[in-house]
Chains A and B, each alone.
Chain A
Amino acid sequence: MTLTADVGLRLGSLELDVAMRTPPDEVVAVVGPNGSGKSTLLRALAGLVRLDRGRVVLNDVVLDDVAAGAHVEPEQRPVSVMFQDTLLFPHLSALDNVAYGIRARGTGRTDARRRADTWLERVGLDGTHRDSRPAALSGGQAQRVALARALATEPALLLLDEPLSAVDVSAKAPLRRVLREQLAGSPAVRVLVTHDPVDAMALADRLVVIEQGRVSQEGPIAEVTTRPRSAWVAQLAGLNLFRGRAEGRHLVLGDGSQLTVATAVRGPAFALVHPRAVTVHRSRPEGSARNAWPGEATGLHLEGDRVRVQVHGTPCIVAELTPAGAADLRLAEGGPVWVSVKATEIDVYPD
Chain B
Amino acid sequence: MLRFSPLAWAKLEYFCHRGDTEIGGFGVSKPNDLLAIEDFATLKQRTTAVSVVFDDAAVGDYFEAQVDAGRTPEQFARIWLHTHPGNCPQPSMTDELTFDRVFGNASWAVMFILARGGERYCRLRFNTGPGGAMVVPVEIDYAMPFAGSDHDGWRAEFNRNVHEEPVIVRGFANGSRRVEDPLDAFGEYNDALEPLLDADLFDFDFDECEVL
Same assembly: no
